[in-house]
Chains A and B, each alone.
Chain A
Amino acid sequence: MIDSFCSFTRAPKETAKLYIDKYLALDIAVDAYYTNPNEFAQTSSKRAEQDRNAKLSALYEKYKAEDPQEENIALNGTIKLCTDLGVDPQDVVLLALAYELNSSEMCVWEKKGWMDGWRNLGCDSIESMKVALQQIRQKLGSDATYFNAVYAKTFAFGLAANQRHLALDMALGFWQLLIPHALAGGALAHEDEDGMDEDGKERGWTDEYTDWWFEFLQEKGLKGITRDIWSQLPVFIRSIDTKFQNYNEDDSWPTVIDEFVERAKSKLAT
């Protein structure tokens, strides 16, 4: 009967079996098939879905098992995960991943985020995850909008409980990862209104300035970075020219940036 069904409809055997099993008689089954050939399609993708969920869930449990007393995947699990994925735990891509998996704090991966996140990235195996990581690393460096989203998430991600300011060493650590990556990839490239490059020289912010910025903050002895400073820095980096000439102190920049520019200008002058 299945073979007959297949010869009538040219449907695969599995489909034929589903229709025959449900409608029992061949003619009714074929009729039903022509009326709605996708009757069992949903079920099949649901099954694939269930299949994927099961795989992701299993992976989750595997890494969670590294820290049995924790509710979520924690430090040891993270290390194991990184090893399996072939990335350094200090890799900038983990910040993008934290954004994708909506991780609430460092080295903590909640189950819901894990499931939703990987699913959105279309992954259910270590291999597919490796591919996805390559993609989001590249996107983080080159796509300004994506960079902004990850960058904003990073601030919240790095805050200690009940804190409003990001501890300075944390902030420096994140910037160290994010800024050079985005500078190299173009996500923090200089936004010039006319888009022209007069003398063919490098324009805008450089890695050296990132070092100056760190040096300045450490000397100033700031304990924490406010959300405002955090969020204005990329805007500043994109807008500034190599000589800090287009900087206007009367604009709405945070005063820390005013002071930094004074410093940088005097440094450039010597």
Chain B
Amino acid sequence: MPVRNPLHFVYLIHAISFIGSGKWIYDKLKLALNSTTSDISKSLCSNVSHPVEWLSELVSAANWFGDRVKLLQGSLTYLDRAYLLHQTDLRTIKLLSMELFDLQVFKSAAIQERLSAGIEAWISSERKSGKPHQNREIIKKLMIVLHEYSKFNPLFFETFLKETLRFYQAESENLSGPNAYKESPGEFLVHCDKRISEERQRAREVLALFPWCEGDIQKTTEEALLKGRLQWLSGVGLENAIASKNIAGLGRMYSLFSRVDGLKRLCEEFKAKVTASVAKIVNDKEREEEMVDRLLELKGFIDEALPIAFVNVSISDSAAANVDVKPTRTTNIDFVHAASDAFQAGFRGRKLKPAEMIAKYLDRAMRKGQQDATTEDFNKVMQRVLVLYRYTQDKDVFRTFYHKALARRLLTQRSASDQSEKQVLKILKENYDPEFSMGDQMFIDLDLSDDLTREFYKRYPEPEAEALSVKILQRSFWPFVARQKEDIRLPLFMQDVLSNYVNFYKGKHENRKLDFDHSLGTAQMHAQFKAGSKELTLSLYQAVILLMFNDQNVLSYNEIKENTGLNDEELKRTLQSLACGKKKVLKKKPVGKDVNDTDEFIYNADFTDPRQKVHINSIQVKETIEESKKTQSIIEGDRKHYLDAAIVRVMKAKKNMMHQALITATIDAVNKHFTPDVRMIKERIERLIEEEYMRRDDEVDGKYVYVA
């Protein structure tokens, strides 16, 4: 220590105090303390040690001074207790000495500057190295001194926080830059997490005397690191986290954002990113077939992430006392809504197609059936797909495609299980669209048909009759348009049986009109090949053609065409399935993949197949493009009728109406089926004005009047 002031004179004043000159002694003491502290101050100012070591000098000086003051207190107990205590304008020795030390040392600008430099040097060193400073003990001792003088806040903590803010702001700036984590905000957040726990750890270890400051330090650190980065983090960060299905990353973002008051922004950004992801999937024309799978995957991830990543953790008061009780975790409902809104918005990115793809996805699933899955799991999958359906605005598109596929499944007996079909229809009808009740009618038709067929067998107990099974479908419940006239010409024996059936049916329902659609028919027949007999299941078209080869071994394309009366397109497709597919029951001359008008066909006696029952696949009409276009245009037409009807209904009820109100009422009226765009409604209104269902009001612009 530099200052070793002559304290011998205190003994002197000790003696004097007895003779009643308290004030004199006090003055002498004050002078002595003043010069001592002043010397300490000077000595500290002129000390040139390293900033952190300088802190050590400060601590020693303060401690030395403290010791001396204790000594004084001991020697001058009488002065302190008997005299000073009763003098209101004079301080006790302890207070006086502290006041003077404060005045001379702590209030000195130069000392404050060195002190700040020391703190900064220490904390920077720890932060840069990531390790405790070798002289960390000095800091702990400094804390005791500052605690004693009540100087922690102004002399240490303010500087500390300022430095913390400065340091982490700079670090955040650097680390989010192009040479660091610019592309991987997730890693940046990992780093932030590490920094925050380092700071808290340090606060607990070094600043234990001031436990309240841990929270302040954490807050400052978080804000410094994150405040300016929110946009980048929520933007790039969310995108990466969603793309890489990083739930932990999302959770980290959520908890960090929640601490810097950034949840609103995070939620908005989350919604935007999910919307964009959904829109991207539904608009990916090259991967349309995978659309639904990809949507399900995304939905699955979001559903999984919501209750893990986007949760508020809270500890209830009663639980706080009990360490074992887990804190309650509640999913942030804003994010749940955001996810749902985002899916809806994303679906809006593409019209019609998503609804169609969902219907087709379900069709495949229903054909496959639940297989090894439990009923429960199967239903879960169905439910998930149907949730996607909820997001589309084109409910009518879904219904049309689903209906068509359902009809086809039921008639060609391709559905895996009636039970599942009914189950899904029930869900659709009850939860989504009451019009799915047509499914019930379809099943009723099929059941009635079976009853009728059984009755028919009783009436005509002959083998030919019993080979026939007819499905009577009411046109209004089935999605097929009436067949064009030129259906296949059936062989006589078939036609006879069918005529019997028609007579039988007319006997029961005289006024009903029956139209047959053989293109939907199926047949089973026995066929003899060299290798033995096979049981073939095929389409009725295929069967009729094959039957012709009972009489003749070779037939030309034109002969077959003549006999069947099929048009070229259907005939070629059918012949192709028999002679050019995997299972060739006919041979074609010349051999080739396509069927030409000049080809000849020969019964293939050499046909073999490992199975006894052989199914010959039909070649499906290119359903994907042409037919779905056709269906789409049917839907478009239906929508126009729907809108016309809705507008007329509304106008009829209200007699006259303003434009906006009519638009709103019309949207409401059709909303369950689809969401029309306003321009389409306007076009329909124009059309109805043209057709004189309504007119514009003569007086008021934008008002319509119903024309009875």
Contact = CB atoms under 8 A, between A and B. Distances in A.
Contacts of A227: 690
A255 B683 contact: yes
Contacts of A258: 679, 682
B565 interface: no
A250 interface: yes
A99 B659 CA distance: 32
A126 interface: no
A250 B659 CA distance: 8
19 contacts: A226-B686, A227-B690, A228-B686, A228-B690, A231-B696, A232-B696, A249-B678, A250-B678, A251-B702, A252-B659, A252-B682, A252-B685, A252-B696, A252-B704, A253-B682, A255-B679, A255-B682, A255-B683, A255-B686
A43 B682 CA distance: 61
A253 B704 CA distance: 12
B660 interface: yes
Contacts of B683: 255
Given A228-B690, A250-B659, 11 more contacts: A227-B690, A228-B686, A249-B678, A250-B678, A251-B701, A252-B682, A252-B702, A255-B682, A255-B686, A258-B679, A258-B682
B689 interface: yes
A254 B686 contact: yes
Interface string A235-270: 100000000000001111111001000000000000
Interface in B322-374: none
A235 B697 CA distance: 13
The size bracket of the interface on B is 10 to 19
Contact of B701 (A235, A249, A254, A255): A235
Given A228-B696, A235-B701, A254 B682 contact: yes
Given A251-B659, A255-B682, A258-B679, A226 B701 contact: no
A249 B689 CA distance: 18
Contacts of B686: 226, 228, 254-255
Contacts of A228: 686, 689-690, 696
Contacts of B689: 226, 228
A252 B679 contact: no
A2 B696 CA distance: 67
Contacts of B659: 250-252
Given A254-B682, A255-B682, A226 B690 contact: yes
A235 B703 CA distance: 14
Contacts of B685: 252
Nearest to A229: B686
A22 interface: no
Contacts of A249: 678
Nearest to B662: A252
A223 interface: no
A228 B690 CA distance: 7
A164 interface: yes
Contacts of A252: 659, 682, 685, 696, 701-702, 704
A236 to B, nearest CB: 10
Interface in B630-686: 659-660, 663, 678-679, 682-683, 685-686
Contacts of B682: 252-255, 258
Interface of A: 164, 226-228, 231-232, 235, 249-255, 258
Nearest to A239: B701
Nearest to B679: A255
Contacts of A226: 686, 689-690
B676 to A, nearest CB: 13
A251 B701 CA distance: 9
Nearest to B689: A228
Interface string B26-65: 0000000000000000000000000000000000000000
- Give 10 nearest A-B pairs by CB, closest first: A252-B659, A252-B702, A228-B689, A255-B682, A226-B690, A255-B683, A254-B686, A255-B679, A251-B702, A228-B686
Nearest to A254: B686
A238 to B, nearest CB: 11
Nearest to B682: A255
A250 B660 contact: yes
Contacts of B660: 250
Contacts of B663: 250
A258 B677 CA distance: 14
A232 B695 CA distance: 12
A163 to B, nearest CB: 12
Most A-side CB within 10 Å, residue of B663, B679, B689: B689
A249 B685 CA distance: 14
B555 to A, nearest CB: 51
B502 to A, nearest CB: 45
Contacts of A250: 659-660, 663, 678
Nearest to A259: B679
B129 to A, nearest CB: 60
A164 to B, nearest CB: 7
Nearest to B691: A164
Contacts of A255: 679, 682-683, 686
B165 to A, nearest CB: 47
Interface string B174-197: 000000000000000000000000
Interface in B690-708: 690, 696, 701-702, 704
Nearest to A228: B689
A253 B702 CA distance: 8
A250 B696 CA distance: 16
A88 B690 CA distance: 34
A149 to B, nearest CB: 13
Interface string B193-211: 0000000000000000000
A171 to B, nearest CB: 15
A247 B686 CA distance: 19
A254 B685 CA distance: 9
Given A250-B660, A250-B678, A258-B679, A164 B690 contact: yes
A37 B663 CA distance: 69
A164 B701 CA distance: 23
A179 B22 CA distance: 114
Contacts of A254: 682, 686
Contacts of B690: 164, 226-228
A253 B663 CA distance: 13
A8 to B, nearest CB: 60
A252 B683 CA distance: 10
A209 B690 CA distance: 26
Most B-side CB within 10 Å, residue of A228, A231, A235: A228
A253 B604 CA distance: 69
A231 B690 CA distance: 12
Nearest to A227: B690
A254 to B, nearest CB: 5
Most B-side CB within 10 Å, residue of A228, A250, A251, A252: A252
A255 B677 CA distance: 12
A198 B660 CA distance: 30
